[in-house]
Amino acid sequence: MLTIGALANVKHILQKELFSVSDERLLSVVTVTKTFKKKDKRACYLCVVTTTPITVPVVSLCLVKQSEQRENEYKRKRSWALDEIKWVDGRNDQLETHEFDIQLEKLYKWYALHPHERQNFLAVLNRQIQKNVRGQRAEFRNIPSAWLSEKSPEKIAAGRTGDAALKAQQTDGEESEEEAQEFTALTDREATELGKLFSECDFAIKDAEQFIEQLSKELHDLDGANIQSVLASEQKVLKMMEHIDNAINEADKFETRLDSYEDILGHVKETMEKIGGKNAMIEIANNNNIKLMKELEKVITQLDLPHKQQQALEDPDFKTEAGIKAAIAAAQCLQQAMNSDIDSALLRLEAVQDQRKRFEKWKQKFSIFISRYMNNMFIHIGNEIGDLPLTSNELVLPNHSNVHQSLAPYTELMHWTKAMDNKTYAGLMRVYTASLCKIYDRDLRNFFNLAKMQVSDKLRSSREDLDASTTSRKAAVSTVPYGTLGVNRDQWGPGVDSADRVRFDALLEKVLAELEPIALQEQLFCINFFQMDVISPTTKNTQTTLEVMEKSVDMSQSFTAASPSTDGPFPQKRIDRQINEDVRNLMMGLFDCLEPELVIFIKSFERVDSFYSLYVLVRLTQHVMSAQDTHSFLSMTFASTLVQVKRNFDSFMKQQMQSIKESKLPKRSKAGILPYVENFENFAQTAEGIFRKSDRRTDMERWYLQLVNAIFETISEQSHEHPKTPHQVVRMENYHHMYSLLAQLKVRGLDGLKKEAKVRYNDALKAYVTHYFGRPLEKLNLFFEGVQQKVAQGVKETEISYQMAYSKQELRKVISQYPAREVKKGLENLYKKVEKHLCEEENLLQVVWHAMQEEFIAQYNYLEERIQKCYAGAMINLEFNIQDILTFFSDIARSH
Amino acid sequence: MREYKIVVLGSGGVGKSALTVQFVQCIFVEKYDPTIEDSYRKQVEVDGQQCMLEILDTAGTEQFTAMRDLYMKNGQGFVLVYSITAQSTFNDLQDLREQILRVKDTDDVPMVLVGNKCDLEEERVVGKELGKSLANQFNCAFMETSAKAKVNVNDIFYDLVRQINKKSPEKKQKKPKKSLCVLL
């Protein structure tokens, strides 16, 4: 049996003899015999061989035999690629098994001489197959799985997944290194170590035994030295222990001493702490005392009212300027004291409450003084001015700035009253309103009476003029208002001319201009005097912080009352509105009679001039729309009046519309220009004079449209009603009148209606000419109508003259019925008729006559053309030519 | 024929007159002239019934606020108009509504909230949602309109007529009592 060394020997020999030559490397070898050739005792070797270029290793299975002749000669019998192996059968799982089969191109059964060689060989073979064979791999049967799984599971996994290529490479690297170790016996380091060792004892190579001996001797020496040093150190250790014990003892002593010191210090500390606590207490007490002092001082100074001021409150002198000043100063001090900033807890002090009660008494007393004094003053002012006789008859509203001046010194007292005694304040305000209202009432009534008188004065004078100029007219006053569109001028009641209107307008302007500064002045004074631009933050009668709040409810109430002023913009807007409303209410109280008086005054125009609403609308709008303080009493009063005026304006216009629709045709021989068409000129010119430059044009133009539309409608309706004048003439004349009127007015909004008037006029003219001119050469026309019929039936125009009824003789016969003299006579009759239809005012006779002339020429041309077409060369002509016609028409026109 | 008194309210320049004139005359008035007061009559058919609308177009400017109480007293239905291009005109409506309820002394007043000028989308400052939520709070109908582009104009008035009908159905006109001949 061969030993392991023998096998290594064999492997070495095989590598050297056989594979090195062909640059191959032997990976594993097993000494085998073929089981079925028992006789052949020569050793065979199954080898796993790889080519050395590692990059593309080709691994193969190789069968080598020992040469029969010479012991040391080996021959490669066969070799197979690994993928030629179909399967490998280990026969059974036992370790000590010798047999194994390999299926190649045929089945080989082997008997391994050494089971460990077999194991090594099979493992290597398996590993190489796993590594190198792609596709179908040889199957290993009946072989302990441990041999195969040694490293192989990882490799299988790596091979399968492929994505762990790096890992696979790593293991591959390890593998090849491991394989290399089997042959390269030493690493570089080992080699150098060994080299060093060998160089130290260069005899080793020559005599291994001697070398080993030397090595073991050296080892022995080293051991001895080691034990000796261990024994020597023991004494030193003992000494060291002693030292440590000493040190511990010393440390203990030290510690006890420290403890005693600490005890002593502990006592001292306690004492110190007690002293410190006492000191802090003393300081706190001291601080508290100081604070208390300060607080008390504050309370006392705040609540202290100097004696001088007490006197000023108890016996105020409102008559002198100095007295008023002192009273105001004292009152303000009192207010300040009563609103001093004192902690609510301190308010419970009896002294504070006592002081408060004292304050209350002063306040009440002083308030009564003010109330009585101001009350008297207001009433006195009211009476004094009320008794003054009215100085002039001029239209001026008296100015009361002297009243305001005399009250100005007391302004701050009023502010004080508002804050400190709201009830008295409200009462005084009522008295002021009542007193001043009397004055303004008287002033306003007087003012408006004067104004009304001026209106009626003017009316009377103008009426006298009017009466003087039209003495022939009946004195009976008509009920039809002046300027009514649908009624003839003669039946209008008395009216005014535009100069009067200008005067009225100026009067109205004067009245409005007088009212504005007076009202504004009073308003400014009231806002300032009664401090109306500030809303008091509390609903209580008296503003004071000294009252002890009984319940928390009071607190919250006062907070909610105060909160709006601190909130966002919306409540601010609310406050503004509240202020505006308060001011307005006061003004309304003062100028109680302004609105009714103003309305009555404006109404006074109505009686004089039905057109008053037009210019009052314009004038009042200027004042209302241009107002800066749009929420003020006066602006709103004017605005309300303006709405009334606008309504009157609208109803005046409505009446005008109605009068147009209800108007009756004049009873005269010619319809002529209808009254509303005639009156519209005056109406529109008046309206334009008032509205031309006004912002309210839109209002007027709205009505223009409606009025003109109504006029058009009524013209068309009434045109059929006149017994003599034909409806075409009524329409023609009136539309023509409207057209020229609208063209004159140049109101852009009426451009559409202007065009329509023109169209309607032209239509009417055409209809009139067609109807009344007719066909003066009727029989000729009929003759040629017959001719046309024949032509329509298919007779050629040139052959018409051969028809019996339409021969040249027949034509001549018809023509001879219209000699020039007869035609002229007919035209003259027509002219007379037209003259009878048309009215003189509109002067359309020439226009109509010309249109008729055109019509006649057109008819004449038509007949001539027919004759030339149908009777060419027959030398037939009418008995007159165009020149004759023109002469007839101009002669007739001239002779009338 | 039943008459419906409708009042158009809102701040100055929101387009009250433009809406009214568009509805009554089918014209868009481009020019701004502050209204003093204009009244219009128009006959329309709503749900198969002939109605005579009497529309009062009011002044929006502040001077005329004193007239509002009277308008509210006489009106049966109210159009509250704001402009989607001006926040303040929207804010003003809250007070207007409160005033109407105070004057009418009831919570149920026929009313339409109208956000006008919806053709000026690029100038919008009042969102549609804001309008809707105010209408919710008012418990009334809401629409955004354009008098210029003729959007939803007629619907305002039709809706109001229906509201008035719903709130106070027309009382059957009492037949005049027939005078009976009595034999004595």
- Residue identified by tokens 């050296």 is A218
Do the Cβ atoms of B67 and A643 come within 8 Å?
Answer: yes
CB < 8 Å & 24+ apart, contacts of A683-689: A683/A483, A683/A485, A683/A656, A684/A741, A684/A745, A684/A747, A685/A745, A686/A483, A686/A498, A686/A501, A686/A611, A686/A614, A687/A611, A687/A614, A688/A745, A688/A747, A689/A498
Residue A478 has a pLDDT of: 56
Identify all chain A residues contacting B91, using CB atoms and an 8 Å cutoff. Answer: 570
Chain B residue at shortest CA distance from A627: B63
pLDDT at A889 over 80: yes
Residue A753 has a pLDDT of: 92
Run of H or E including A231? helix A208-303
Identify all chain B residues contacting A642, using CB atoms and an 8 Å cutoff. Answer: 36, 64
Residue A173 has a pLDDT of: 44
Run of H or E including A499? helix A498-529
- Name residue A799's amino acid: E
Using a pLDDT cut of 90, give the percent of chain A over it: 17
Interface test with A, best of B17, B27, B36 (most A CBs within 10 A): B36
Do the Cβ atoms of B64 and A631 come within 8 Å?
Answer: no
Residue B19 has a pLDDT of: 96
Q: At what angle do helices A675-691 and A498-529 cross, to 10 degrees?
A: 40
Rounded to the nearest angstrom, the minimum Cα separation between A639 and chain B is 5
Identify any residues that bridge with A75 across adjacent strands, giving them in sequence order. Answer: A65
pLDDT at A165 over 50: no
Q: pLDDT for A321-342, tens place per residue?
A: 888 888 888 888 888 888 877 7
| Between A163 and A678, the higher pLDDT residue | A678
Degrees to nearest 5, angle at CA A889 with A885 and A892: 135
Q: What is the mean pLDDT of chain A?
A: 80
Question: At A657, is the pLDDT very low, low, confident or very high (cuts 50, 70, 90)?
Answer: very high
Residues 6+ apart with CB under 8 A from A189: none
Cα separations in angstroms, A676 against A631, A640, A858? 43, 33, 37
Cα separations in angstroms, A640 against A514, A596, A644, A877? 18, 11, 7, 82
Residues 6+ apart with CB under 8 A from A324: A317, A318, A409, A410, A413
Q: How many CB pairs under 8 A join A and B?
A: 53
Nearest to A698 among B33, B37, B62 (CB): B33
CB burial readout A99-125, b (16+ within 10 A) else e: ebbbbbeeebebbbbbeebbbbbbbbb
Q: Which range (A97-106, A145-154, A659-668, B143-152) has the least confidence?
A: A145-154
Using a pLDDT cut of 70, give the percent of chain B over it: 92
Does the CA dihedral A560-A566-A570-A576 come out positive or negative? positive
Question: Are B43 and B1 in contact, with CB atoms under 8 Å apart?
Answer: yes
Rounded to the nearest angstrom, the minimum Cα separation between B145 and chain A is 24
Domain spans, chain A:
4-183, 304-478+497-641, 670-773, 776-895
Identify all chain A residues contacting B31, using CB atoms and an 8 Å cutoff. Answer: 698
Other C-beta atoms lying within 10 Å of the C-beta of residue B41: 10
Gyration radius of chain B's alpha carbons: 18
Question: HEC states along A247-307?
Answer: HHHHHHHHHHHHHHHHHHHHHHHHHHHHHHHHHHHHHHHHHHHHHHHHHHHHHHHHHCCCH
- Name residue A134's amino acid: R
* Burial tier of A56 (Cβ tally within 10 Å: 0-12, 13-18, 19+): exposed
Interface test with B, best of A624, A626, A695 (most B CBs within 10 A): A624
pLDDT at B150 over 90: yes
Rounded to whole angstroms, the Cα distance separating A15 from A456 reads: 155
Question: At B70, is the pLDDT very low, low, confident or very high (cuts 50, 70, 90)?
Answer: very high
pLDDT at B81 over 90: yes
Residue A645 has a pLDDT of: 92
State residue A91 phi and psi, 5-degree precision. 65, -55
Rounded to whole angstroms, the Cα distance separating A140 from A86 reads: 9
Nearest to B62 among A631, A642, A699 (CB): A631
Return the top range by mean pLDDT from A97-101, A470-474, B54-58.
B54-58
Domain assignment present for residue B61? The answer is: yes
Nearest to B36 among A636, A643, A702 (CB): A643
Q: Which of A529, A535, A520, A640 is nearest to A582 (CA)?
A: A535
Chain B residue set in contact with A, beta carbons under 8 Å: 31, 33-34, 36-39, 59, 61-67, 91
* DSSP 8-state code for residue B43: E
The CATH number for B160's domain is 3.40.50.300
Question: At A246, is the pLDDT very low, low, confident or very high (cuts 50, 70, 90)?
Answer: very high
Rounded to the nearest angstrom, the minimum Cα separation between A570 and chain B is 9
Residue A397 has a pLDDT of: 83
> Once rounded to an integer, what is the mean pLDDT over residues A279-300?
91
Residue A754 has a pLDDT of: 93
pLDDT at A442 over 50: yes
Residue A245 has a pLDDT of: 92
Q: Does domain A4-183 have CATH number 2.30.29.90?
A: yes
Other C-beta atoms lying within 10 Å of the C-beta of residue A842: 18
pLDDT at A10 over 80: no
Does the CA dihedral B111-B117-B118-B124 come out positive or negative? negative
Sheet containing strand A139-141, strands side by side: A74-81, A59-66, A44-51, A24-34, A107-112, A99-103, A87-89, A139-141
Return the top range by mean pLDDT from A77-91, A284-298, A336-350, A553-567.
A284-298
- Residue identified by tokens 């008859």 is A393
Q: Which range (A197-211, A293-307, A493-507, A881-895) has the least confidence?
A: A197-211
Nearest to B63 among A617, A636, A647 (CB): A636
For residue B119, the enclosing domain spans: 1-165
Chain A residue set in contact with B, beta carbons under 8 Å: 570, 617, 621, 624-625, 627, 630-631, 635-640, 642-643, 646-647, 650, 695-699, 702
Identify all chain B residues contacting A696, using CB atoms and an 8 Å cutoff. Answer: 33, 36
| Between A361 and B179, the higher pLDDT residue | A361
Interface test with B, best of A618, A640, A647, A709 (most B CBs within 10 A): A640
> Once rounded to an integer, what is the mean pLDDT over residues A574-594?
87
Rounded to the nearest angstrom, the minimum Cα separation between A433 and chain B is 21
DSSP per-residue codes, A44-71:
EEEEEEEES-TTS--EEEEEEEE-SS-T
pLDDT at A452 over 80: yes
Identify all chain A residues contacting B34, using CB atoms and an 8 Å cutoff. Answer: 625, 695
Residue A807 has a pLDDT of: 83
Supply A97's token pair.
């098994």
Helices (H), chain B: 16-25, 68-74, 87-104, 128-138, 153-167
pLDDT at A820 over 70: yes
Count of domains observed in chain B: 1
* Burial tier of A748 (Cβ tally within 10 Å: 0-12, 13-18, 19+): exposed
Looking only at the bridges linking them, the beta strands covering A99-103 and A107-112 are antiparallel
> Once rounded to an integer, what is the mean pLDDT over residues A553-580?
55
Supply A120's token pair.
């090594």
pLDDT at B167 over 60: yes
Residue A469 has a pLDDT of: 46
Chain B residue at shortest CA distance from A702: B38
Do the Cβ atoms of A640 and B64 come within 8 Å?
Answer: yes
State residue A21 phi and psi, 5-degree precision. -60, -45
Residue A36 has a pLDDT of: 59
Do the Cβ atoms of A638 and B63 come within 8 Å?
Answer: yes
Residue B145 has a pLDDT of: 95
Return the top range by mean pLDDT from A70-84, A222-236, A345-359, A510-524.
A510-524
Degrees to nearest 5, angle at CA A123 with A122 and A128: 95
Do the Cβ atoms of A642 and B62 come within 8 Å?
Answer: no
> pTM value?
0.66
pLDDT at B74 over 90: yes
> Once rounded to an integer, what is the mean pLDDT over residues A461-480?
50
pLDDT at A18 over 90: no
pLDDT at A567 over 60: no
Degrees to nearest 5, angle at CA B29 with B26 and B34: 130
> Once rounded to an integer, what is the mean pLDDT over residues A714-724?
87
Rounded to whole angstroms, the Cα distance separating B18 from B37 reads: 13
Do the Cβ atoms of A698 and B31 come within 8 Å?
Answer: yes
Question: Are A504 and A612 in contact, with CB atoms under 8 Å apart?
Answer: yes
Do the Cβ atoms of B63 and A630 come within 8 Å?
Answer: yes
* DSSP 8-state code for residue A204: T
> Once rounded to an integer, what is the mean pLDDT over residues A712-732?
88
